Amino acid sequence: MARFQGQPPSGPLVQELEALLRVAVFQPAREVVGHLLQGAADRIDSDYQAKPGEHFKGRQILKVQCLFGTFPIERDYYYHAGKKQGHSPADAALGLEGGYTPALARLICLEGADEPGYEKAERHLAETGGIAVSARQIQRVVQRVGAEAQSWQEREGQPGAGEASVLYVSGDPLHHPLDRRHCQNPAGLSGLRLHPAPNR
């Protein structure tokens, strides 16, 4: 700041000032996010009940990246020998996608889908938000999230019960007028209400 005030103003100097201020503002924001997520992970782990076959393997540290930078969080890790799979309950509960917070993962996917290449998405994230994510990591996040979204879209729909007590039908009375004879209640539709067209 003293350097900026002690020199004649110029475009490059203003650009440098804004970049430095962004770093200065991001640091306390990153610390706040890290503190809040660590507290949330501790609460999630204390409430978690291990499923049959899962065994507690201790606490593990994960490097998390958010919009403001990276920080570590410590959380419980469970392993299922029969399935040969392990997981940390806090990761799913917090919505972490490969170590990225939900807000950053969403931004990565938007950039990866909007830009013509992952390398360009990497540069765009760095230039516009000061966010350092490699092109390879952007590709991995986009592919992982995209596969999950496609599976969700292709899921088998669950039909509803279909037991509506009232059926409402709307029509254009100017083109399809109804008189009293057409407003007879059909059999089996006790809740059907038909209103005749006004007299013309």
Q: Which of 85, 93, 99 is nearest to 57 (CA)?
A: 85
Shared domain check, 109 and 91:
no
C-beta contacts of 150-154 below 8 A and 24+ residues apart: none
Shared domain check, 91 and 21:
yes
Say whether pLDDT at 104 is over 70.
yes
β partners of residue 76: 59
Spatial separation of the C-alpha atoms in residues 92 and 99, rounded to whole Å: 11
Is residue 107 assigned to a domain? yes
CB 70 within 8 A of CB 64: yes
Q: Identify how many contiguous H helices and E strands the chain contains and give both numbers.
A: 6, 3
Q: 59 in helix, strand or coil?
A: strand
Say whether pLDDT at 48 is over 80.
yes
Question: How many structural domains does the chain have?
Answer: 2
Q: What digits encode the pLDDT tens for the residues 70-96? A: 999 999 999 999 999 999 999 999 999
Is residue 35 very low, low, confident or very high in pLDDT (cuts 50, 70, 90)? very high
Residue 57 backbone dihedrals phi, psi, to 5 degrees: -115, 10
Shared domain check, 87 and 119:
no
Say whether pLDDT at 135 is over 90.
yes
Scanning the structure block, which residue is given the tokens 């919009």? 67
Spatial separation of the C-alpha atoms in residues 141 and 23, rounded to whole Å: 25
Higher per-residue confidence, 46 vs 113: 46
Shared domain check, 73 and 52:
yes
Q: Which domain holds residue 47?
A: 10-96
Spatial separation of the C-alpha atoms in residues 51 and 81, rounded to whole Å: 12
Is residue 184 assigned to a domain? no
Spatial separation of the C-alpha atoms in residues 55 and 58, rounded to whole Å: 9
pTM: 0.67
Shared domain check, 72 and 14:
yes
Spatial separation of the C-alpha atoms in residues 38 and 44, rounded to whole Å: 10
Is residue 196 assigned to a domain? no
Shared domain check, 113 and 58:
no
Is residue 171 assigned to a domain? no
Spatial separation of the C-alpha atoms in residues 109 and 136, rounded to whole Å: 13
Shared domain check, 70 and 33:
yes
Q: Which one-letter amino acid corresponds to residue 193?
A: R
Is residue 175 assigned to a domain? no
Say whether pLDDT at 165 is over 80.
no
Calculate what percentage of the chain has a pLDDT beyond 70.
70
